Amino acid sequence: EAGVAQSPRYKIIEKRQSVAFWCNPISGHATLYWYQQILGQGPKLLIQFQNNGVVDDSQLPKDRFSAERLKGVDSTLKIQPAKLEDSAVYLCASSESDRGYEQYFGPGTRLTVT
């Protein structure tokens, strides 16, 4: 079974630029999560999708971050414009359903904003 795929693995941009990350969850998984992991901290949920609908985006900085999950499969997370404090690893995870206790994580995208 293929795992959660993410791209790119690394991205370096200057502040005020835009960036987008892509995630392909495990086939058949209805729930998709985006987490932000700042160096030295545990992951923090940014947004949760159930199929193509948003379940929880309470911690998403909506003035600069946006996310979508087209057709309930792939998802894209965008930052526009980026700030220095956005430097982090962005992790995507998926689970069979919102009640599924096991979340499967992708390898993450390390973003450096200079």
Partner 1 sequence: AQTVTQSQPEMSVQEAETVTLSCTYDTSESDYYLFWYKQPPSRQMILVIRQEAYKQQNATENRFSVNFQKAAKSFSLKISDSQLGDAAMYFCAYRRTINDYKLSFGAGTTVTVRA
Measure the CA–CA gap between 35 and 52, rounded to whole angstroms.
17
Tokens of 79: 């930052």
If the CB atoms of residues 17 and 89 are measured against partner 1, the closer one turns out to be 89
Q: Does 40 bind partner 1 (CB under 8 A)?
A: yes
Q: Is 112 in the site for partner 1 (CB under 8 A)?
A: no
64 makes contact with partner 1 (CB under 8 A): no
Residue with the two structure tokens 């900085």: 61
Identified binder of partner 1 from the candidate list 21, 32, 65, 106, rule CB under 8 A: 106
Q: How far is the CB of 82 from partner 1 (least distance, A)?
A: 20
Q: What is the dihedral of CA 54, 56, 60, 63, to 10 degrees?
A: 50
